[in-house]
A and B are shown apart, each in its own frame.
Chain A
Amino acid sequence: MKRIAMMGCPNVGKSVLFSRLTGVNVISSNYPGTTVDFTKGYTHIGGEKFELIDVPGTYSLEPISKAEEVARTMLQEADIIINVVDATHMERNLYLTLEILGMKKPTIIALNLSDEAKHIGIDIDVRHLEKLLGVPVVPTCAISGEGVKELTLKLRAAKQSEQIKPMTEEERWRKIGDIIRKVQVVHHRHHTIREHIADITVKPATGIPIAVIVIFLIFLFIIRIGNLIIEYLMDPIFYDYYGPWIVGVVNTFYPKGLVHEILIGKSTLESLDFTQSFGLLTTGLYVPFDMVLPFVVTFYLMLSLLEDTGYLPRLAVLVDTGLHKLGLHGSAIVPTILGLGCNVPGALATRIMETEKQRFIAATLMAIAVPCMAQSAMIFGILGKYGMRWILMVYGTLALLYISLGLVLKRIIKGESPELLLEVPPYRKPDPVTLLKKTWTKAYGFLVEAVPFVLLGVFVMNLLYISGVIELLSGLFSPVLTTLLGLPKEAIVALIMGFLRKDIAVGMLLPLGMTPQQLTISCVILSTYFPCVATFVVLLKELGIRDMLKATGLMLIVSLTVGVLMRAILI
């Protein structure tokens, strides 16, 4: 099977084009560097099957970051290259194009965002460009799908360029200037409204208040809408329909005994118990579907909106100064925000940081102080009834940890913390269908990944209870838990579960009859002491075993220290 590599600069719409060609949903956003890992897909063109690879965006083939090293290797292994060029920024995109053409691989160029280029007054003579480059050029608009068919039809015409020879950097820039002069005409135009808005959101006097309002509204939306979904949709489904039905079914086949206990715990028809019964079919489904999913959906809807409009890079600019004090720079806002959804993509996104030092700090701070949405949903769920101040205390403590740890790590970790250098893309109007699709993809991803783990966790926990292992462990750890942290020794079950899934782990605190103070301390410890297994695996891959050991040590020390301090203050 022939392999096609899709290459281009960051944020030119490669991923959207890739989805168009393969039907595989790829996460794309209006932010440079979303594709840090490569994605594979398959496509049939004229009866032949091709393997298509979405290569991370790079500005050149001489690697500056990890993503660009990947790109170079992918190019060498491909049979055909589709070079995606942003028609609105042709000049700088052509540098990569000339490098690719110099590699003498069969190449075809997709001149993407052609419609937008026309819209802002850029005329490109495509035929002339084809002649100068010596390979086919197809204007496309990936978002609407225009030109995609022509691209596949012309794929067979992809060829090595005879016109473009390998050349030095200076020659390449001269050649680009030459090409641009011949094929591109830019018509003068005035500032558009969108550009005025763009300026307002990066100027500090207006941008900072706007950022505060935007973030506040987003949180309000996530919490309000999430709660509405629970109250009017999920709770009725669970309490009025699913609950009575499943308890009836289980009672019919297993009126009592071990299986009954594992499936629905102490739930009865008279008192449905979804939160504390700890059955596979009660708590095991209620936690992911009812308590967590609604917030995951609202979170990803908001995140997609932030990504697709292009607001994130502006936020990165505004928080840059603050993050510098923590040894990071503005771009670190991306792994942090992604981490608020799920720490796994957050950990992957630390790759957009340039140096090892920055990647380590960004990943460690996220793993310790950024709770994922699943965990947050459960924290709201169990602390909400005691009042807002306990929830604020958990998040306030975590925020304080993020800042103070960053201040320390900046000083003790060796290496460089370079400055921000980031393209701020123009605002784009998000497409509602794409938004919903993206939200659905992420919510579905959550279900596929979370539900099996939650069920496994509930099952294992039941076995541990029945076999008496829990009792043994609670005895063993009671010096730490009870003496140092002031928690009931049974809280060990939540900590054990936390290795697997943080959401269900928080849920396990409920039956322990703790005071709000104890719950608050437990929530902070659960967030900080160790990442869940999925995050751990990714972090291990990203940081390497030595740095991961360092990070893990830090987590344990930090969470114990904070727990003891909180106990001294609260209890």
Chain B
Amino acid sequence: MSGRDVKVAPLTTLLPGEKARIVALGHGRGRQRHFRTMGLMEGKMVEMIAMQPARGPLVINVEGTQIAIGLGMARRILIEKIQG
């Protein structure tokens, strides 16, 4: 990790166009399984595509799969932004 600044933050902090790595899915086991079967899992790169206004859902791209996800759900998913 030398020379790199790794910050863990909620998925919702990602801005459109930014990419990060998923580190934790949060939520209970059932929801986690659902996430994984949609391709949303730890270790994958995620890109923010769009954020709907007025606390609307996010659209993210996880290695080729686009997923629309509610803001509340997305807040509990953690990512690490890799800078530098």
Pairing of A with B: yes
Task: Please report A residues at the B interface, Cβ cutoff 8 Å.
Answer: 9, 59-60, 62, 64, 88-89, 91-92, 95-96, 120, 169, 173, 198-199, 202-204, 207, 313, 316-318, 320-321, 329-330, 418-426
Complex CA–CA separation, A9 to B38 (angstroms): 9
Contacting residues, chain B, for A320 (C-beta < 8 A): 52, 56-57, 68, 70
Q: How far is the CB of A123 from chain B (nearest CB, A)?
A: 14
In the complex, the chain A residue whose C-beta lies closest to that of B60 is: A424
Given contacts A64-B30, A204-B52, A421-B73, contact A317 B38 (CB under 8 A): no
Do the beta carbons of A420 and B39 come within 8 Å of each other?
no
Complex CA–CA separation, A321 to B52 (angstroms): 8
Q: Is the interface of A mostly helix, strand, loop or mixed?
A: helix
Given contacts A89-B39, A95-B36, contact A204 B53 (CB under 8 A): yes
Complex CA–CA separation, A43 to B13 (angstroms): 52
B12 within 8 A of A: no
Do the beta carbons of B41 and A173 come within 8 Å of each other?
yes
Do the beta carbons of A60 and B33 come within 8 Å of each other?
yes
Do the beta carbons of A419 and B69 come within 8 Å of each other?
yes
In the complex, the chain A residue whose C-beta lies closest to that of B71 is: A419
Given contacts A89-B65, A198-B66, A207-B50, contact A420 B37 (CB under 8 A): no
Complex CA–CA separation, A321 to B53 (angstroms): 8
Contacting residues, chain B, for A313 (C-beta < 8 A): 68
Given contacts A203-B16, A424-B67, contact A318 B52 (CB under 8 A): yes
B55 within 8 A of A: yes
Complex CA–CA separation, A64 to B72 (angstroms): 19
Given contacts A202-B59, A317-B57, contact A91 B39 (CB under 8 A): yes
Contacting residues, chain A, for B51 (C-beta < 8 A): 204
B49 within 8 A of A: yes
Do the beta carbons of A424 and B69 come within 8 Å of each other?
no
Complex CA–CA separation, A526 to B20 (angstroms): 54
Q: Is the interface of B mostly helix, strand, loop or mixed?
A: mixed
Contact of A321 among B16, B36, B56, B67 (CB under 8 A): B56
- Among B34, B36, B53, B71, the most chain A Cβ lie within 10 Å of the Cβ of B36
Question: Among residues 54 to 84 in chain B, which have CB atoms less than 8 Å away from a CB atom of chain A?
Answer: 54-57, 59, 64-73
Contact of A421 among B34, B39, B50, B54 (CB under 8 A): B34
Contacting residues, chain A, for B66 (C-beta < 8 A): 198, 202, 423-426
Complex CA–CA separation, A152 to B13 (angstroms): 50
Complex CA–CA separation, A62 to B72 (angstroms): 24
Do the beta carbons of B67 and A419 come within 8 Å of each other?
no
Contacting residues, chain B, for A92 (C-beta < 8 A): 36-39, 65
**How many residues on B have C-beta within 8 angstroms of the other chain's C-beta atoms?**
30
In the complex, the chain A residue whose C-beta lies closest to that of B70 is: A419
Contact of B67 among A120, A199, A316, A421 (CB under 8 A): A421
Contacting residues, chain A, for B52 (C-beta < 8 A): 204, 317-318, 320-321
Given contacts A62-B30, A89-B65, A173-B41, contact A329 B36 (CB under 8 A): no
Can you spell out 11 A-B residue pairs with CB atoms less than 8 angstroms apart? A9-B37, A59-B34, A316-B68, A320-B52, A320-B57, A419-B69, A421-B38, A421-B67, A422-B67, A423-B38, A424-B68
Contacting residues, chain B, for A173 (C-beta < 8 A): 36, 41
Contacting residues, chain A, for B64 (C-beta < 8 A): 88-89, 120
Q: How far is the CB of B70 from chain A (nearest CB, A)?
A: 2
Complex CA–CA separation, A30 to B54 (angstroms): 28
- Among A9, A95, A204, the most chain B Cβ lie within 10 Å of the Cβ of A204
Contacting residues, chain A, for B49 (C-beta < 8 A): 199, 202-203
In the complex, the chain A residue whose C-beta lies closest to that of B43 is: A177
Given contacts A204-B50, A320-B57, contact A329 B67 (CB under 8 A): no
With A173-B36, A202-B50 given, can you name 9 additional A-B contacts, CB distance below 8 Å? Answer: A59-B33, A92-B36, A92-B65, A120-B64, A202-B66, A321-B56, A421-B67, A423-B68, A424-B59
Contacting residues, chain A, for B59 (C-beta < 8 A): 202, 317, 424
Complex CA–CA separation, A88 to B64 (angstroms): 9
Question: Among residues 1 to 30 in chain B, which have CB atoms less than 8 Å away from a CB atom of chain A?
Answer: 16, 29-30
In the complex, the chain A residue whose C-beta lies closest to that of B39 is: A92
Contacting residues, chain B, for A91 (C-beta < 8 A): 39
Contacting residues, chain B, for A95 (C-beta < 8 A): 33, 36-37
Contacting residues, chain A, for B71 (C-beta < 8 A): 419
Contacting residues, chain A, for B69 (C-beta < 8 A): 419-422
Q: How far is the CB of B39 from chain A (nearest CB, A)?
A: 4
Contacting residues, chain B, for A204 (C-beta < 8 A): 50-53, 56
Q: How far is the CB of B24 from chain A (nearest CB, A)?
A: 15
In the complex, the chain B residue whose C-beta lies closest to that of A331 is: B68
Contacting residues, chain A, for B50 (C-beta < 8 A): 199, 202-204, 207, 317
Q: How far is the CB of A376 from chain B (nearest CB, A)?
A: 29
Do the beta carbons of B38 and A59 come within 8 Å of each other?
yes
Complex CA–CA separation, A329 to B67 (angstroms): 15
Complex CA–CA separation, A419 to B35 (angstroms): 13
Q: How far is the CB of A177 from chain B (nearest CB, A)?
A: 9
Nearest 9 A-B pairs (CB), nearest first? A419-B70, A59-B37, A321-B56, A424-B66, A203-B50, A92-B39, A317-B68, A422-B68, A202-B50
Q: How far is the CB of A289 from chain B (nearest CB, A)?
A: 41
Q: How far is the CB of B60 from chain A (nearest CB, A)?
A: 10
Do the beta carbons of B56 and A421 come within 8 Å of each other?
no
Contacting residues, chain A, for B34 (C-beta < 8 A): 59-60, 64, 421
Complex CA–CA separation, A313 to B59 (angstroms): 11
Q: How far is the CB of B74 from chain A (nearest CB, A)?
A: 9
Do the beta carbons of B68 and A330 come within 8 Å of each other?
yes
Complex CA–CA separation, A173 to B65 (angstroms): 18
Do the beta carbons of A420 and B70 come within 8 Å of each other?
yes
Complex CA–CA separation, A207 to B30 (angstroms): 32
Contact of B65 among A59, A321, A423 (CB under 8 A): A423
